[in-house]
Structure 1
Amino acid sequence: MDELAKDAAATIKKARTSGHSFYLHMFSRATVEAAYTASPAVWDGLLEGVEARSAVFRGRVHSASGLYLCLCEVLLTHAPAKGLRLWKALADTMTVRFNGPANIPELMHIAMRVPESAEVEAVRAELTNLIRCNTDQDLFELVIVCQMHCREKWLDDFIDVDMASDQPWRHRRAAVLRAFHRLPRIDRLQWPEGKTFSSLRLLERNLMKWTNRAVLAKHWWEHFTRVTDADSAFAAWYMFLDTVDRRVWVWRPQLSEPKTELDRLRKLHLRSNEGLFTRALDKAEERTAKFADHLFGLDSPGKWLTLDGAVAR
């Protein structure tokens, strides 16, 4: 791993010294926003070739992806029509995945973070297109990013539209989204029982574990932070690790300043086990067979579906 890291660092340095000084460089949105609002017309040159996805445009994106991501968010805020064009182009042409919080692509965070507009609604619709969102993991990340940016109403409305559809596959998508999204009280959890008589009910039954896992993880985290003896806190921590997944980034608060010796130990325990916590976040997805390759538990459309001449990824 050390050799790979050194090799990657050398490659990045070589790209920057050869003239691509912005290669894999991230920018502050506030800085780009200030520069854009001071002189919007100057930035139009960066959009040349965006519609045709020209080779020149692709080259600029490849050498300055971080700058283009920031510019996309700024444009969706101040010039939404241009921002929509750029967002679609970046989604089609970026070869490096820039992840934000919860290890979710920054393009998804941008779509949910920017203010409402007709163009932003079109961007969010793009996120649900089968070409871009065609695995259970894609739907999982869509739910998390909506929750992180307080777009629950948008998600609820989208689920309701799917449920009202006359297409069975959309009912199944709604069931998956609802299972990832719901967070009922712990005394209202449901568990599989009895027989099922339809594929939709079987899917809903299989998805109960995802709803329950989120509720139990939150319960054990709260137990870990509130109990007053070390043994109970230690036990709660390991129960938390066994149920946690990436949805924790939606609700996991920072611990307050220590007031007792146990509070100090809790904080020290978290710092020293940060790696263990990070690894635990992916275990639920890793334990679910082909989570990144299946949709509704079946082969992803990326394996067989073609839309408008483009193969779903």
Structure 2
Amino acid sequence: MNVDFHGHLAVPAADSLVDGEPGFAGELADERRTHAEVSLALNRAQLARLRPKLTDVAVRLVDMDAMGVDVQVVGPMPMHHPWAGPALAEDLASTVNEAVAAHCAQAPDRLAGLGTVPLQHPDLAVTHLRRCRELGLRGISVSTRVGGRELADPAHDPVWAAAQDLGALVFIHPWGCSLGERLAARYLGNTVGQPVETTLALSHLIFTGALDRFPRLRLVAAHGGGYLPTYIGRSDHAWHVRDDARGCERPPSEYLRRMWFDALVYTSAGLRHLVEAAGADRVVLGTDYPFDMGVDDPLRRLDAAGLDPADREAVAGRNAKELLGWG
């Protein structure tokens, strides 16, 4: 069984809830600062073109067949809106999670869902995390930061504790970039910015000791974990030589084997390195379906990496099946 851990779903009803809200206007202004107008126009055209793939189960299944994917993990298009107050956040989470559950219920033997929670309101987030599990969702998708707070901020500890206790997956998928205008040119806000955001989020979780506090938290990082697995040696060096970098119990590289990463790193050499750094049992397929920064040939790319057959089988589906509790 081949499992794609990285698919997206649009929820128009949730978009309608934020339309006209001042906080959403601010969110769009931030997006304009990190993307040139030509990139924003291309994004709008892409979303319009991809709407059937983002909403129609039948279209999704046809595309999965073409990719050789048996099961896809479907999460909402990142729509976390950390500016939303409690009432709106409640409506957004309920709307999104029920939509994901309904979408996956149309093909329960082929689709597994991830929901969303309002991390800016940790108590409410815990409530919705439990509701996600009641809806049959396997966990949640979160961005790399929550407004001005890092994921590793102790304010989020109740959410991570609940996720750990429930066995819920936490898929870290960047949405936006905090580096601003420096990345506005030539789509660098996505190409460079999103891997940077993931690298920062994971580094905070490691270096602050958050993963020591929650050793059974099941984290899955999109886009191969950003740049962290590639340059983890620098993190280890800092941990060894500087007292101020030693906020975690063990060298940072050891924590790579405490989380999972999707295989969306584009090159055979990159995938081989990811498997070497994290372990073949810590990598899952990921396509970023249906966006243009994703891939539609995940198995061909996996085969091109030339992994040991047992490692290839693990990445293609066995690891994801075990994470999902599938079959």
User: Taking structure 1 as the reference length, what is the TM-score of the superposition?
Assistant: 0.33
Higher relative contact order (CA 8 A, sep 6+): 2
Q: Which has the higher helix share?
A: 1
**Structure with greater proportional strand content:** 2
